[in-house]
Structure 1
């Protein structure tokens, strides 16, 4: 084919559909869950909603069995960078703020957080069939393995 033929072929070729921009919309809503945290029965709520400038906001409240008050709470904000990676900031009730990096696919959203001088952790948010959400939080161990310290199953209460 001549160079002109290639140019014409390129101009009339069907356009490749643009990849859908990554989104956390599937996780938006209010969620109520139960499971274990730090080896004890626990309940928690997560509220995930649109934030400013296309961000996603998260508010988390955890209660551990045997306590009447919230044992831990946090707020976070997430955005996608130009390469489709999740970037954010998580601020908790202990006064720590952690940079969060991660990703998302059709049914899983994952983040890595922390630093080697304190701790490195990961959180996964997996949407299951039937509208349930499973959240697992782990800490990186010295041997390279991950130790799960919290796993709760949530149901959507609205959204």
Structure 2
């Protein structure tokens, strides 16, 4: 009779509280290289805790070519209890875009922009070897996504 009692107790015991969703695994200073708009590119990411449990991101991108391109952006992201991400992205061209997204395992994803301008998607995938792969895409009229940048980052040693 004891084994049945343990089975019943396990079924009615309160579940362990779920861990709050967090972007902490992505926090750090990162340096990367890859391709943006069909050209070699390098970039840095600084992802850190922000106010009130939010996460801040500072992005710097350099694209080789004539003329070379220098782009920067800052963003703030908050996660609600269900793991939905909300935020705002502001860039060096004076654009500010709303951001929504979430976390699925080792992937943090965002959708940004609006239908009247453009809608984009960014994914931040943590690989088992410690690499962070960031891929950026734009929604096309046919419903598909066109990738315009992929960079592979390594966490900078402190």
Contact 2:27 2:49 in 1 (8 A): yes
- What TM-score, normalized to structure 1? 0.89
* Count of paired positions: 150
Deviates more, 1:65-74 or 1:75-84: 65-74
Does residue 113 (structure 1) correspond to residue 112 (structure 2)? The answer is yes
Gaps of 5+ in 2: 1-7
The aligned runs of 1:114-133 (5 Å cut-off) are 114-133=113-132
SS of 2:52 mapped into structure 1: helix
Tell me how large the CA RMSD over aligned residues is.
1.8
Does residue 59 (structure 1) correspond to residue 63 (structure 2)? The answer is no
* Residue equivalent to 1:152: 151
Q: Following the alignment from structure 2 to structure 1, what is the Cα–Cα distance between the partners of residues 38 and 69? A: 16
Report the CA distance between 1:105 and its aligned residue.
Answer: 2.4
Q: Following the alignment from structure 1 to structure 2, what is the Cα–Cα distance between the partners of residues 54 and 79? A: 7
* Residue equivalent to 1:39: 38
Contact 1:61 1:70 in 2 (8 A): no
Q: Following the alignment from structure 1 to structure 2, what is the Cα–Cα distance between the partners of residues 46 and 25? A: 14
Gaps of 5+ in 1: 1-8
Q: Following the alignment from structure 1 to structure 2, what is the Cα–Cα distance between the partners of residues 158 and 56? A: 20
Contact 2:21 2:82 in 1 (8 A): no
